[in-house]
């Protein structure tokens, strides 16, 4: 009987104009949205939520009644055979109440499976639905397919109301974060055994649901983040957007290696390259800590906090373990100490209250490209000229303000620095000094093949061109030096590379290289610290003259 009712309602409804590949929800079903889109890829809950937003300008779907629940379950089962469950837009991450994430309203319809909803732990609290339409209180970091509610084609996207109550419980305009702070917010996460598994999961849930999605500006590429444990601190690649950050946080593992010291989190933040940006945008450093610090580090800890807060930057420490005695920290200055709270509104407010927000514009020196430096490591140059080349490259790297845009290629196997590797400018400069082993005869074909191998060794989907490869050439005396590189040069050009050849010494013949590029930088006299007329041709060499 229920099937007949669903079918009759479908026939009697007006068909909306939904995007290709999506499913129209009949008008009589009482859904706030007319179109639903099944995403076959499997993602954790927070990444799925971001995917619906960034890909379709929609939300994970809310379920108002049994008609929509049945339609969604049947549609998902027919279109996706690989996943036994799928995410919908319902969670109890907002102070323990089940909410629809599209507008923050209380969920009024449920279809729990037997034994559900199970007691929420640190990682549960997100609703998945099986192919029978039964609901499960699930681990938010499990990967399932999901269903998005999406706007109609030709209709200005709207939310169910012009004002919504966000997950943090504060009223705000639709489509805008709760407390977005225009700034770079580098942060470090304690992944040690100082936290219980439930505390660690609760921290990740808060970071993914509130800290990233409500505090971070959506139109500014985030700064690097890092993890630390009892024994090490390590930055991650710079992510391209908040959605990527949410996915990264969802995948963070915990290392049960003993108690940590939040001083290691501070040290890790001082080593990432955000200090090099120099574009006037405020910096607010944050550490999610599971433990306090050994008193013997007090002086060094205050010194590094003072270093981070130069030029008006801020430091905030969130102690995730609520049982810690924070009295010994009262003597520290220039730092905002925040005690963990299960109330996300209170916690986010306490984190944000001392942050600097607003000012500056993103700037990339020399311009917003990806740069690959490939020095000459052959035995061709004299030791003096080789060191002149190396010093010049170090100085040029020092003139840049985005270490994540710099790649340093070496022909010594895997001894090279990739884009987005977490190094700061000084560390990249040190790498240039370290890669000083010289051997063999110069070969342009080998050089460009090494550059190509480095490019294709990683997934470059997010690394959109243009790229500029700065290749240093010491000789064209024989065909072995300059010949046979047509195919690899064309492949690099097709991938989006502009080749810039630095011709070192008086005897390098550019006419033998015009098959590859005409972007030549002449350095005829290597006793000079930089190429000929460098200040006039610099932007041309980098491909930045029109940017």
- Tell whether the model's pLDDT for residue 470 goes beyond 60: yes
pLDDT band at 86 (very low <50, low <70, confident <90, very high): very high
Q: Higher model confidence: residue 508 or residue 118?
A: 508
Full-model pTM: 0.72
Structure tokens at 221: 């590429």
Whichever domain contains 260, its CATH number is: 3.40.50.410
Distance CA 416, CA 428 (A): 10
Report whether 87 contacts 46 (CB < 8 A). Answer: no
One domain for residues 421 and 477: yes
Q: Please check whether residue 468 lies inside any domain of the structure.
A: yes
Whichever domain contains 24, its CATH number is: 3.10.100.10
- Tell whether the model's pLDDT for residue 9 goes beyond 50: no
Q: Please check whether residue 141 lies inside any domain of the structure.
A: yes
Mean pLDDT over all residues of the chain?
Answer: 86
- Tell whether the model's pLDDT for residue 172 goes beyond 80: no
Please give the tally of structural domains in the chain: 3
pLDDT digit string, tens, across residues 436-453: 667 889 999 999 999 999
Q: Higher model confidence: residue 534 or residue 414?
A: 534
Q: Of 125, 140, 173, which closes a domain?
A: 173
Q: Of 173, 196, 213, which closes a domain?
A: 173
One domain for residues 193 and 166: no
Task: List residues bridging with 10 in a β-sheet.
Answer: none
Distance CA 249, CA 104 (A): 23
Distance CA 316, CA 308 (A): 11
Q: Please check whether residue 145 lies inside any domain of the structure.
A: yes
One domain for residues 420 and 455: yes
One domain for residues 306 and 419: no
DSSP 318: E
Structure tokens at 272: 């990432």
Between the alpha carbon of residue 411 and those of residues 62, 444, 452, the distances in Å are 54, 11, 12
- Cis previous bond, 366, omega within 30: yes
Distance CA 192, CA 112 (A): 35
Q: Please check whether residue 530 lies inside any domain of the structure.
A: yes
Report whether 40 contacts 126 (CB < 8 A). Answer: no
- Cis previous bond, 117, omega within 30: yes
Q: What is the DSSP string of 481-520?
A: HH-S-HHHHHHHHHHTEEEEEEEESTT--GGGSTTT-S-E
Q: Of 173, 206, 233, which closes a domain?
A: 173
Report whether 190 contacts 253 (CB < 8 A). Answer: no
One domain for residues 20 and 117: yes
Q: Please check whether residue 362 lies inside any domain of the structure.
A: no
- Tell whether the model's pLDDT for residue 288 goes beyond 50: yes
One domain for residues 7 and 137: yes
One domain for residues 162 and 27: yes
Distance CA 193, CA 321 (A): 11
pLDDT band at 170 (very low <50, low <70, confident <90, very high): very low
Q: Where are the beta strands (DSSP E) in 342-451?
A: 370-374, 406-408
* Side-chain half-sphere exposure of 221, counting CA atoms within 13 A: 18
Q: Please check whether residue 520 lies inside any domain of the structure.
A: yes
Q: Please check whether residue 502 lies inside any domain of the structure.
A: yes
One domain for residues 314 and 385: no
pLDDT digit string, tens, across residues 338-371: 999 998 888 998 999 889 998 899 999 999 999 9
One domain for residues 406 and 538: yes
One domain for residues 24 and 83: yes
pLDDT band at 154 (very low <50, low <70, confident <90, very high): low
Q: Please check whether residue 360 lies inside any domain of the structure.
A: no
One domain for residues 264 and 399: no
Q: What is the mean pLDDT of residues 449-474?
A: 93
Between the alpha carbon of residue 152 and those of residues 112, 148, 157, the distances in Å are 30, 12, 7
H or E segment at 408?
strand 406-408
One domain for residues 156 and 197: no
Distance CA 493, CA 516 (A): 9
Q: Phi-psi region for residue 41, left (φ > 0), alpha (ψ -120 to 50) or beta?
A: beta
Q: Angle 388-394-400 (CA atoms, 0-180°, nearest 5)?
A: 140
- Which residues constitute the domain of residue 462? 370-542
Q: What is the mean pLDDT of residues 413-432?
A: 84
- Collapsing DSSP states into helix, strand and coil, what is residue 431? helix
């Amino acid at each position: 009987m229920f099937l007949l009712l669903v079918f009759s309602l479908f026939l009697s409804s007006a068909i909306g104009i939904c995007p290709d590949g999506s499913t129209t929800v009949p008008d009589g079903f009482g859904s706030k949205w007319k179109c639903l889109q099944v995403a076959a890829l499997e993602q954790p809950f927070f990444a799925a939520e971001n995917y619906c937003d960034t890909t379709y300008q929609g939300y994970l779907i809310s379920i108002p009644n049994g008609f929509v629940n049945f339609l969604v379950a049947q549609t998902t089962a027919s279109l996706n055979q690989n996943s036994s469950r799928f995410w919908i837009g319902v969670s109890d991450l907002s102070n323990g109440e089940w909410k629809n994430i599209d507008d923050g309203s209380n969920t009024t319809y449920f279809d729990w499976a037997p034994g559900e909803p199970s007691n929420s732990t640190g990682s549960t609290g997100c609703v998945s639905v099986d192919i029978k339409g039964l609901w499960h209180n699930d681990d938010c970091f499990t990967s399932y397919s999901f269903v998005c509610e999406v706007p109609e084609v030709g209709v200005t996207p709207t939310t169910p109301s012009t004002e919504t109550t966000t997950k943090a419980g504060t009223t705000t305009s639709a489509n805008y974060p709760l407390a977005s702070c225009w700034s770079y917010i580098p942060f470090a996460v304690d992944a040690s055994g100082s936290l219980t598994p439930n505390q660690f999961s609760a921290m990740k849930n808060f970071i993914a649901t509130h800290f990233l999605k409500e505090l971070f500006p959506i139109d500014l590429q985030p700064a690097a983040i890092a993890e630390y444990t009892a024994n090490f601190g390590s930055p991650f690649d710079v992510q391209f957007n908040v959605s990527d950050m949410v996915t990264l946080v969802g995948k963070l593992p915990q290392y049960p290696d003993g108690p940590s010291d939040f001083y290691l989190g501070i040290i890790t933040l001082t080593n990432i390259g955000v200090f090099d940006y120099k574009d006037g945008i405020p910096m607010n450093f944050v550490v999610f800590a599971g433990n306090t610090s050994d008193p013997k580090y007090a002086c060094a800890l205050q010194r590094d906090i003072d270093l981070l807060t130069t030029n008006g930057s801020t430091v905030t420490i969130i102690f995730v373990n609520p049982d810690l005695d924070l009295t010994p920290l009262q003597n520290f200055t220039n730092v905002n100490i925040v005690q963990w709270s299960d109330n996300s509104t209170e916690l986010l407010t306490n984190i944000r209250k001392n942050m600097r927000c607003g000012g500056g514009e993103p700037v990339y020196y020399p311009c917003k490209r990806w740069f690959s430096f490939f020095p000459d490591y052959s035995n061709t140059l004299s030791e003096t000229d080789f060191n002149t080349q190396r010093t010049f490259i170090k100085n040029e790297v020092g003139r840049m303000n985005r270490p994540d845009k710099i790649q340093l290629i070496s022909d010594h196997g895997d001894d090279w620095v990739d884009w987005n590797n977490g190094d700061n400018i000084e560390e990249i400069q040190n790498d240039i000094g370290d890669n000083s082993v010289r051997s063999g005869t110069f070969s342009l074909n080998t050089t460009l093949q090494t550059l190509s191998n480095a490019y294709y060794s990683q997934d470059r989907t997010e690394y959109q061109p243009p790229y500029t490869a700065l290749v240093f050439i010491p000789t064209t005396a024989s065909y072995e030096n300059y010949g046979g590189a047509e195919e690899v040069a064309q492949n690099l050009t097709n991938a989006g590379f502009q080749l810039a050849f630095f011709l070192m010494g008086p005897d390098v013949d550019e006419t033998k290289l015009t098959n590859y590029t005409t972007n030549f930088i002449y350095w005829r006299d290597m006793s000079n610290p930089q190429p000929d007329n460098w200040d006039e041709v610099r932007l041309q060499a980098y491909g930045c003259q029109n940017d």
